[in-house]
Chains A and B, each alone.
Chain A
Amino acid sequence: MAKKELRVALFLAWRSLVRGNRSSMLLNVLIISMVFTNMMFFPALMSGIGVDIKEQIVAYQTSNILIEPAKGDQYISDLDTTLAQVNGMPGVERATPHYQMGATLKFRGRLLGTTIHAIRPREEKYVSPLYTTMIAGSYLGDGDKGEAIIGELVAGSPNIPEEDEFNPSLGGVRVGDSILVEFGNGFQKEYRVKGIFRTGNFEMDNRVIVTWEDMEEVVGEPLDYAPYITVRVKPDYSETFVKNEILQYGLREKVQTTEDLLNKGIGRALASFSIIGLISMLVSLVIAIVVLFIVIMIKTLNNRRQIGILKAIGVEKSVIMHSYGLQVIILSLAGILVGFLFTGLIVVYMTYYPMVTPEFSATPYVTPLDLAFNGIILFAASVVSGYLPAWRVARENIQNVIRV
């Protein structure tokens, strides 16, 4: 189409928008913006949940790299040597061991089966932000004996009767209380609760944590072995790089990055989130196409006679078609921009007030690529759904449309 014709089409489109029914135009922009927001919001929330789960797992369970015993072994042996090797590698912020043993907790007549985890508190600070999540009391110190920190879900609430509890707990343990712990090996010991933590991670908040020295007492020997080591990677290094370094160094243990673990573990759940998000996006897109198609179809049908008159006075049908198409383009661009704004406001709001569930706290996760991709998809859908009815009416016989 020649520049002159495009100019006339734009002229007609713009005049129609600014001098036509203003409330109808605003409604159309609002509909498109809502569709865009809907396209963005649900998938972003799903991504946000995924990101949150990943971050929690990295923060409290596996860190960036998890080292586990080689196939056939129960433990990583010669622990201190292994830790020294790993800690000396480029890109490693800190590697720290974990030990765990099943146990039964007893507190004021309540019994609770759980796993007791042993950590080296000072080293753990480099690997996990657990120490920042204390909601009562304080974090463990190296060498603490007879003291434990417990998750909020283990502590429970004194206001909820045992039979009403969704998640079994000790029914309201407070800092300073004593808990009797019966370990899986038969060892019994009373621990004073030094602190209670809340991470927001279901599994973590169900843990009881003691010091490495305490666990050595339970096991009855020095713990120069561990079921797993977590490794924090320095910010400028990639997990894969550090993993490869560790493997190249000749460590025979099983070394996995977070990505490796997520792909195996919750990878399918995250993939399901992505599929749900994609379906939601497609449904929104179909709504957008149908709404815009109807809006432009009604507009062109109402203007059939005028379209016929324009053709009669020598306006080319391509000019007429583009004048309606350009109206849709302008409406959809305005709608997408308003949608950007709505989405941004929702993201900002939910960053401060996330959607909290027992499993995770979700904030929509939106990247510029998501915004651009959804914007382009909606724009393309708008153009097609707007041009189609305009094209149909513009090519009708003048006599047919002029007699309306």
Chain B
Amino acid sequence: MSSGCEHMIEIQDLRKIYQMGQVEVKALDGVSLTIDKGEFIGIMGPSGSGKSTLLHLLGLLDDPTSGSIQIEGIDVSRLTDWERTMFRLYKLGYVFQDYALVPELTVKENICLPAMLRTDREEKDYIAATRDILHKIGLWDRRDHLQSELSGGQQQRVAIARAIVNTPDILFADEPCANLDTENSRMVLDLFKQINQEMQQTIVMVSHEDWHKEYFDRIVRLKDGKMVNGGR
């Protein structure tokens, strides 16, 4: 299925229409975009512009109404439900606005959870990976704490660690600083930037904070479901 192209993500004329009763809402209206490996892309725009919808479509969390999405040359719309799950497990990582950690798991357990399911990883591999990541995000000392014992910034760093434990090809982040103060937001963004630079990690992040743009390599701006600039 690989076309041998160099783009990490390539989307063509992507549309997403929601039916709200009798009314059709065009959440995305013909967006075309390419993202290269190692890019740190910021998707920005006002509320209701379609930022999260685009991120969810790229992250295989939702299906487009029309248009195509190719990730590493694979037309992901052709994947079965199980293949999409495996694609997310092996190739994608997610960071959510509200951290979305499992409250009954410790920091360490939350981080290694996605890695536990991979058939190509032994227990010693993901334990070592978790240890390294915990050191990287500065939470080694908090490894046995539960979510309820962490600050918002610490929780989001754990969520980032969980997202990268499987060394995904693409890391998606949906407004990861929305619930954080400036200091913690900066800490989280610095971590994203560090991961992006040190690991050549492709990152696609939705944000509505203007000052975040200093971290992005490129900004894709959306308005009313259309891309107004930043596309390629």
Please say whether chains A and B are actual partners in one complex.
Answer: yes
A306→B117 contact, CB < 8 A: no
The 7 A-B residue pairs whose C-beta atoms are closest, nearest first, are: A314-B89, A19-B104, A309-B100, A314-B88, A15-B104, A399-B62, A16-B104
On whether A314 and B59 interact (CB within 8 A), knowing A8-B117, A20-B104, the answer reads no
- Which B residues are CB-close (under 8 A) to A5? 117
B85→A12 contact, CB < 8 A: no
In the complex, which residues 89-103 of chain B have their Cβ closer than 8 Å to any Cβ of chain A? 89-90, 92-94, 96, 100, 102-103
B100→A306 contact, CB < 8 A: yes
- Which B residues are CB-close (under 8 A) to A19? 103-105, 146
Q: Can you identify 5 A-B contacts, CB atoms within 8 angstroms?
A: A19-B146, A306-B102, A313-B114, A314-B86, A315-B114
- Which B residues are CB-close (under 8 A) to A12? 102
Asked if B119 is an interface residue, CB under 8 A from chain A, the answer is: yes
B61→A4 contact, CB < 8 A: no
Asked if A334 is an interface residue, CB under 8 A from chain B, the answer is: no
On whether A305 and B85 interact (CB within 8 A), knowing A313-B94, A314-B114, A402-B61, the answer reads no
Please measure, in the bound complex, the distance between the C-alpha atom of A311 and the C-alpha atom of B114, giving whole angstroms. 10
As a 0/1 sequence over residues 309 to 345 of chain A, the CB contacts with chain B under 8 angstroms (1 = contact) are 1111111110100000000000000000000000000
As a 0/1 sequence over residues 71 to 99 of chain B, the CB contacts with chain A under 8 angstroms (1 = contact) are 00000000000100110111011101000
Asked if A11 is an interface residue, CB under 8 A from chain B, the answer is: yes
On whether A312 and B59 interact (CB within 8 A), knowing A15-B109, A306-B100, the answer reads yes
Query: Contact check: which of A311, A315, A317, A399 meets B113 at CB < 8 Å?
Result: A315
Closest beta carbon of chain A to B55's beta carbon, Å: 11
Closest beta carbon of chain A to B47's beta carbon, Å: 15
In the complex, which residues 1-40 of chain A have their Cβ closer than 8 Å to any Cβ of chain B? 2, 4-5, 7-8, 11-12, 15-16, 18-20
Counted as pairs of residues, one from A and one from B, with CB atoms less than 8 Å apart, the total is: 68
On whether A312 and B88 interact (CB within 8 A), knowing A15-B109, A398-B61, the answer reads yes
Please measure, in the bound complex, the distance between the C-alpha atom of A66 and the C-alpha atom of B192, giving whole angstroms. 92
What size tier do the contact residues of chain A reach?
20 to 34
Please measure, in the bound complex, the distance between the C-alpha atom of A314 and the C-alpha atom of B61, giving whole angstroms. 10
Q: List chain A positions with a Cβ less than 8 A from chain B.
A: 2, 4-5, 7-8, 11-12, 15-16, 18-20, 305-306, 309-317, 319, 398-399, 402
Please measure, in the bound complex, the distance between the C-alpha atom of A398 and the C-alpha atom of B100, giving whole angstroms. 14
- Which A residues are CB-close (under 8 A) to B17? none
15 additional contacts (CB under 8 A) given A316-B82, A402-B61: A2-B119, A4-B117, A4-B119, A5-B117, A16-B104, A19-B104, A19-B146, A306-B100, A309-B100, A312-B61, A313-B94, A313-B162, A315-B114, A317-B85, A399-B62
Number of interface residues of B (CB under 8 A): 29
Closest beta carbon of chain A to B191's beta carbon, Å: 18
A11 to B, closest residue via Cβ: B116
A15→B116 contact, CB < 8 A: no
A311→B85 contact, CB < 8 A: yes
Please measure, in the bound complex, the distance between the C-alpha atom of A305 and the C-alpha atom of B104, giving whole angstroms. 15
A319→B109 contact, CB < 8 A: no
B82→A8 contact, CB < 8 A: no
Closest beta carbon of chain A to B61's beta carbon, Å: 5
As a 0/1 sequence over residues 48 to 78 of chain B, the CB contacts with chain A under 8 angstroms (1 = contact) are 0000000010010110000000000000000
In the complex, which residues 148-178 of chain B have their Cβ closer than 8 Å to any Cβ of chain A? 162-163, 166
Query: Contact check: which of A8, A18, A311, A399 meets B116 at CB < 8 Å?
Result: A8
Name which of B61, B89, B104, B109 has the most chain A CB atoms within 10 A of its CB: B104
- Which B residues are CB-close (under 8 A) to A20? 104
- Which A residues are CB-close (under 8 A) to B82? 316
B88→A15 contact, CB < 8 A: no
B61→A315 contact, CB < 8 A: no
- Which B residues are CB-close (under 8 A) to A311? 85
Closest beta carbon of chain B to A247's beta carbon, Å: 71
Please measure, in the bound complex, the distance between the C-alpha atom of A2 and the C-alpha atom of B103, giving whole angstroms. 25
- Which A residues are CB-close (under 8 A) to B59? 312
A309 to B, closest residue via Cβ: B100
Please measure, in the bound complex, the distance between the C-alpha atom of A310 and the C-alpha atom of B103, giving whole angstroms. 12
Closest beta carbon of chain B to A217's beta carbon, Å: 87
Please measure, in the bound complex, the distance between the C-alpha atom of A402 and the C-alpha atom of B53, giving whole angstroms. 13
Query: Contact check: which of A7, A309, A314, A399 meets B96 at CB < 8 Å?
Result: A309
Please measure, in the bound complex, the distance between the C-alpha atom of A351 and the C-alpha atom of B84, giving whole angstroms. 62
A314→B116 contact, CB < 8 A: no
- Which B residues are CB-close (under 8 A) to A399? 56, 61-62
- Which A residues are CB-close (under 8 A) to B56? 399
A16 to B, closest residue via Cβ: B104
Please measure, in the bound complex, the distance between the C-alpha atom of A15 and the C-alpha atom of B103, giving whole angstroms. 10
- Which B residues are CB-close (under 8 A) to A11? 109, 116
Query: Contact check: which of A15, A305, A315 meets B105 at CB < 8 Å?
Result: A15
Please measure, in the bound complex, the distance between the C-alpha atom of A319 and the C-alpha atom of B113, giving whole angstroms. 12
- Which A residues are CB-close (under 8 A) to B85? 311, 314-317
On whether A313 and B89 interact (CB within 8 A), knowing A15-B109, A19-B104, A306-B100, the answer reads yes
